[in-house]
């Protein structure tokens, strides 16, 4: 009788342990009581359409089986998401909860990170699972002083050079320039000067995200713009490095070799204001099939895709960008449900199909070979245009050569980056306009440009930048 009782107790204990383990493996998820996850993203156009289709597929398959419903809400832009998240963080009454997931860059999620509101990938995934993702993309989600990954990569981007092939071929044939001349920023500036002379005063080049040029360029020159000193972040880049950045963007810009008229560089290529651009790989879907000249005539266009230039005799690096997904702290079931969705979304073949529809890069190592990408798309009867194929092939080569670089985030880094973008961009645009106005008033080109080409002009700009950046990094508003 005692043996029977012992056996019964053992069986009950075993059943209890099995039940507990089963419950723990699901982390509280139940198909009978589904959890609803709010997700804020910034996709638009074809990218939003592709994302929404996958969310719907998840909700009707794996989500239904496990008890997870994803409610995806488009917020328009990453800055809109950051503003709304930060408002909720500042509202201590918590009348509205944070979304379970939101798209973010390191700097736009900084406040949530500081307030310990984020869940790391390491909380629910094994080291083996995490290492299936591209190292550079994981680094994008890690904050200074921490090995934990706070932003889950789902689709990433870099930058490439995109050129109007028809116009380039005509120009290259007439002047004997080559694609190799566009491999460095110095070579680009010289080529743009030749094009200006060849075309009777037309600009050659426009770029998006000027801050990327400054931040990544400084890193190539081994003199990062923001450096930690005595436990604080400082605007510590040398005048020498700033001058090299200035000479290879501001100077050709005010001379008319570069321009920025549209909101995006693809706008300037559409209107034939330029024939060459640097933009995000994710912008490939926005490049036009036709360009329009000054007479309103439309022409079909094809594109040449090249790596983004780097500085001569400097280490090569390309910017890593594209938001990750921040998971906010909640009950265990909700947190784990977020991980389930994001793992499902980044499964190799599924992530490749999303990248092809959205012009982003897949995030797993095995997905970042062009052969795997191409084979997967053929099996899904997807045939991206030649521009997207060339963008992906060019960028995957850079990813696999470990050239990715992302600047570390710090308190105020979003504001500091925004200031850099504005300070450099507006200076170039306004000074270019001032020169044109002076020429129209009767000054020679040499007279009109004299001050803007001077050491004094550069020194004044640097002095103002250092003053404003010091105030900004100390928490004051730059003047």
Q: What is the CATH number of domain 28-156+322-402?
A: 3.40.190.10
Residue 479's pLDDT is what? 41
Q: How far apart are the first and last CA of the chain?
A: 87
The pLDDT of residue 94: 65
List, for residues 284-334, the tens digit of each pLDDT value.
889 999 999 888 999 999 999 999 999 999 999 999 988 899 999 999 999
pLDDT tens, residue by residue, 161-209: 999 999 999 999 999 999 999 999 999 999 999 999 999 999 999 999 9
Tell me the pLDDT tens digit for each residue of 411-466: 888 899 999 999 999 999 999 999 999 999 999 999 999 999 999 999 999 999 99
What pLDDT band is residue 93 in, cutting at 50, 70 and 90? low
Cα separation, 198 vs 173, whole angstroms: 11
Domain residue spans of the chain: 28-156+322-402, 159-319+411-473
Q: Mention every residue, 6+ apart, whose C-beta is less than 8 A from residue 294.
A: 272
| Cα Rg of the chain, angstroms | 26
Angle at 152 between CA 150 and CA 157, to 5 degrees: 120
Q: Which CATH architecture best describes the domain 159-319+411-473? A: 3-Layer(aba) Sandwich (3.40)
The residue assigned the tokens 């972040």 is: 233
Confidence band, pLDDT 50/70/90 cuts, at residue 8: very low
pLDDT for residue 408: 82
Q: Give the whole-angstrom CA distance, residue 209 versus residue 189.
A: 18
Q: 101-105, 236-240, 402-406, 426-430: which range is least confident on average?
A: 402-406
Structure tokens at 78: 């990453």
Report percent pLDDT > 90 for the chain.
79
Asked which of 12-16, 209-213, 265-269 is least confident by mean pLDDT, the reply is 12-16
Q: Pick the range with the lowest mean pLDDT from 123-137, 216-230, 288-302, 396-410.
A: 396-410
Q: Residues 227-270: pLDDT tens digits?
A: 987 778 999 999 999 999 999 999 999 999 999 999 999 999 99
Q: 240, 462 in Cβ contact below 8 A?
A: no
Q: How confident is the model at residue 15 (pLDDT cuts 50, 70, 90)?
A: very low
Whether the predicted pLDDT of 226 surpasses 90: yes
Per-residue pLDDT, 285: 84
- Residue 406 · residue 227 · CB < 8 Å: no
Q: Is the pLDDT of residue 390 over 70?
A: yes
Whether the domain at 28-156+322-402 and the domain at 159-319+411-473 fall into the same CATH topology: yes
Alpha-carbon distance of 382 to 401, in angstroms, equals: 27
Pairing, β 35-41 against β 298-300: unpaired
Percent of the chain at pLDDT exceeding 70? 94
pLDDT of amino acid 322: 84
Query: How high is the mean pLDDT of the chain?
Result: 92
**What confidence tens digit (pLDDT) does each residue in 74-91 have?**
999 999 999 999 999 998
Give the pLDDT of residue 21: 42
The CA distance from 163 to 305, in Å, is 6
């Amino acid at each position: 009788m005692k043996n029977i009782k012992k056996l019964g107790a053992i069986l009950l204990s075993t059943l209890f342990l099995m039940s507990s383990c089963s419950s723990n493996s699901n982390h509280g998820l139940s198909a009978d009581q589904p959890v609803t996850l709010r997700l804020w993203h910034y996709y638009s156009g074809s990218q939003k359409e592709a994302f929404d289709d996958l969310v719907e597929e998840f909700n009707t398959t794996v989500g239904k089986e496990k008890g997870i419903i994803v409610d995806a809400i488009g917020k328009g832009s990453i800055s809109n998401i950051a503003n709304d998240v930060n408002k909720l963080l500042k509202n201590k009454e918590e009348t509205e909860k944070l979304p379970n997931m939101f798209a973010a860059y390191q700097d736009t999620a900084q406040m949530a990170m500081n307030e310990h509101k984020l869940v790391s990938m390491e909380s629910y995934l094994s080291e083996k699972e995490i290492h299936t993702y591209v190292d550079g993309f994981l680094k994008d989600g890690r904050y200074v002083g921490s090995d934990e990954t706070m932003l889950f990569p789902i689709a990433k981007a870099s930058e490439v050079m995109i050129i109007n092939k028809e116009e380039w071929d005509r120009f290259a044939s007439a002047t004997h320039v080559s694609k190799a001349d566009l491999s460095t920023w110095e070579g680009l500036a010289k080529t743009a000067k030749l094009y200006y002379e060849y075309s009777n005063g037309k600009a050659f080049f426009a770029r998006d995200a000027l801050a990327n040029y400054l931040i990544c360029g400084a890193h190539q020159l081994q003199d990062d713009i923001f450096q930690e000193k005595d436990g604080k972040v400082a605007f510590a880049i040398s005048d020498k490095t700033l001058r090299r950045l200035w000479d290879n963007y501001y100077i050709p810009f005010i001379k008319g070799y570069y321009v920025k008229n549209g909101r995006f560089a693809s706008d300037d290529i559409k209107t034939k204001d330029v024939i060459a651009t640097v933009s995000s790989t994710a912008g490939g879907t926005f490049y036009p099939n036709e360009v329009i000249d000054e007479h309103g005539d439309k022409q079909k266009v094809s594109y040449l895709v090249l790596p983004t230039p780097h500085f001569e005799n400097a280490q090569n690096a390309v910017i890593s960008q594209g938001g990750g997904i921040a998971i906010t702290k909640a009950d265990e079931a909700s947190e784990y449900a977020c991980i389930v969705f994001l793992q499902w979304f980044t499964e190799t073949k599924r992530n490749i199909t999303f990248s092809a529809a959205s012009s982003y890069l897949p995030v797993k190592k095995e997905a970042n070979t062009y052969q795997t990408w191409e084979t997967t798309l053929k099996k899904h009867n997807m045939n991206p245009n030649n521009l997207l194929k060339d963008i992906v092939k060019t960028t995957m080569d850079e990813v696999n050569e470990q050239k990715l670089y992302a600047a570390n985030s710090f308190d105020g880094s979003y504001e500091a980056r925004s200031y850099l973008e504005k300070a450099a961009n507006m200076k170039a645009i306004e000074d270019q306009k001032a020169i044109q106005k002076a020429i129209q008033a009767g000054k020679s080109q040499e007279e009109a440009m004299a001050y803007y080409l001077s050491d004094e002009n550069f020194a004044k700009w640097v002095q103002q930048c250092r003053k404003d950046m010091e105030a900004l990094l100390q928490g004051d508003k730059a003047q």
